[in-house]
Amino acid sequence: MRNLVFIIIFLLLSSCSDKPSSSLLEQIRKKGTLTVITRKGPTSYYQTANGKLGLEYELSSRFARYLGVKLKLLVSENPEDIIPMIVQGEADLAAAGLPITNQRKKLVRFGPGYQTVETKLVYRLGSGRPKSIEDVIDGQLEVTSGSHHAERLKELLSVHPDLHWKETRNLNSTDLLNLVFEQVIDYTLVDSNTLTLFKRYNKEVNAAFSVSAPMQLAWAMPYSKDDSLYNEVQNFFRMLRSTGELAQLIERYYGHADQLGFVGTRLYIRHIQTKLPRYQIQFQKAAVKYKLDWRLLAAIGYQESHWKPLATSPTGVRGIMMLTLNTARQLKVDNRLDPEQSIFGGAAYLRSILNRLPDRIAEPDRTWLALAAYNVGYYHLRDAKKITKMRGGDPDKWIDVKKNLPLLSQKKWYTKTRYGYARGKEPVDYVENIRIYRDLLVWHNEKQNAYRNTPQVQLPEVDSTVF
């Protein structure tokens, strides 16, 4: 009887094992949902009036589409909770800008690295730049609890036993950067990518020195004998690299972030407050008429003339949008020095360039290429695209074309083009400046609630992922 019981149990177990269980990847596809943990912040995920943005959000959305499923996003309020949530199986993976550390590798399995960062000790300009950890021991240092920043400080204790700091659960890296900016605390630790984006708006906050070696950001998954999801993540990032899409996404968020210096940023913010209100309604109306983002038009106007209606260059371009005489005539602009005519003319000109570009060029590259043509001329842009293709790049991608535009000033290359010499470095700086001007304007409007006392017009729907 005892042997019979063992035989029955063995047969039952055998019958169960003969029935293959579905892999984790198959389960995700069967339920039609990929569950991803992320966190709020400029480097990962945030919401705007026109939609959701953030590098981690865009990568997660693309991965869900790659798998043919919908994205279910869980947003953690505190980074301390993300790793435990993955360990407990509350999500399929974490896409939250997590650096790979030795401590974390004991708990979760990381996918391929896709961005390199360093941990920086941050201080406020004017308060004295610390040169080493010893210089911050007497100051007020605060980090987010459970973060790899706190982990790094604990490692430093063995060498610097007098080092002390405060850990908080309620504030993220951006919050702590704001406290340094407001001089509530002396120092914090942040990753270099977070600092790069923060410094677009607050140049007074700066890095003193690095407190870590370069680290790779990666997605985190639970440890499992089932490699199906892990392997698909590997395949996904391999595809993004081979197509250049990963580089394009990183360039979209970081390529222009440090374009302006301290003085330039402060001057621009002051001009937003003092000059822009005179012309904002015209930018908004022109945006409606030509289906553009008014902040983009305003950024072009600032790059062209610093919003000076009587501006005139030595080459004869004039007005807020710096139209040439020929362009003004084509657009039926009678007076280039009239602010409204200039703004509407500039909007019409940008729209005409956008319409001329081949339909295959997607956003945001379409806008960046159009801006380059606004500056250097449509046919010089075509020459730059030709050189890009000759050198193995993608002529429809800004990240590739901007590397080749400067070659229009080199005889070796411009002699191979139809339209010849051009100062190709200028449109590169032109586009990158406009990108940061637009970002700063969006940030300032949101922070100051600029619309409250400004006459409003009905604005068009704008896809914020374009920018």
Q: What is the DSSP letter of 83?
A: H
| Cα–Cα dist 331/440, whole Å | 30
Q: In this structure, what is the dihedral angle of CA atoms 53, 71, 77, 229, given to the nearest 10 degrees?
A: -120
Rounded Cα distance between 303 and 325, Å, is 19
Residue partners of 460: CB distance under 8 A and separation at least 6:
287, 288, 291, 292
Cβ burial, residue 427 (10 Å; 0-12/13-18/19+): buried
Q: Which token pair is 153? A: 């400080």
Instruction: Return d(Cα 202, Cα 257) in angstroms, integer.
Output: 12
**Active-site annotation holds for 432:** no
CA 412 – CA 289 distance, rounded (Å): 43
Letter for the amino acid at 345? Answer: G
Select from 56, 29, 63, 23 the least CA-distant residue to 42. 56
Rounded-to-integer distance, Cα 346 and Cα 151, Å:
52
Q: d(Cα 127, Cα 437) in Å, to the nearest integer? A: 28
234, 111 Cβ separation under 8 angstroms: yes
Judge residue 78's burial from the number of C-beta atoms within 10 Å of its C-beta, 0-12 exposed, 13-18 middle, 19 or more buried. middle
Helix (H) or strand (E) holding 380: helix 378-390
**Token pair of 307 as six digits:** 């919003």
SS3 content of the chain, % helix, strand, coil (to 5): 50, 15, 35
In the set 56, 58, 142, 304, the catalytic residue is 304
Alpha-carbon distance of 53 to 59, in angstroms, equals 10
- How far, CA to CA in Å, does 59 sit from each of 36, 240, 299, 344? 11, 9, 28, 37
Is the CA virtual torsion 451, 456, 460, 466 positive or negative? negative
For 47-54, the CB contacts below 8 A with 24+ separation are 48/442, 48/464, 49/464, 50/461, 50/462, 50/463, 50/464, 51/463, 51/464, 51/465, 53/464, 53/465
Active site positions, annotated = 304
